[in-house]
Amino acid sequence: MNHHHRKTLHALFAHPMSSNINFKKVLSLLEEAGAEVDNKTGNRIGVKLSGHSVAFAHVQHELPKEEIVQVRRLLASCGFTPEKFPL
């Protein structure tokens, strides 16, 4: 995992929650983690990682806070936490 991916991971788990996390950077992080990303109908993106799956609304820029929470849960359940990948 390169520095950019680790920075995105730390931003996802930051407290207070950041409201300007770029959607493309999150997708890049998920793909680097080994996730399968596919486009679904209705402007949705499906993500499968280590047996867990979730769907996100495809946004142009920043992720909404509700989806940041979903990404956090997905990454944490698969063992991708900031403690495991320090900056």
CATH of the domain at 7: 3.30.920.30
Taking the model in full, what pTM does it have?
0.85
Residue 63's domain comprises 3-77
State the Cα angle at 37 between 85 and 2, rounded to 5°: 25
Exposure b/e, 18-33, CB count within 10 A at least 16 = b:
eeebebebbbbbbebb
Place of tokens 């979903």: 70
Structural domain includes residue 85: no
For 62-87, what is each residue's pLDDT tens digit?
A: 888 888 899 999 999 988 889 988 88
What tokens were used for 19?
Answer: 């409201």
The total number of structural domains that make up the chain: 1
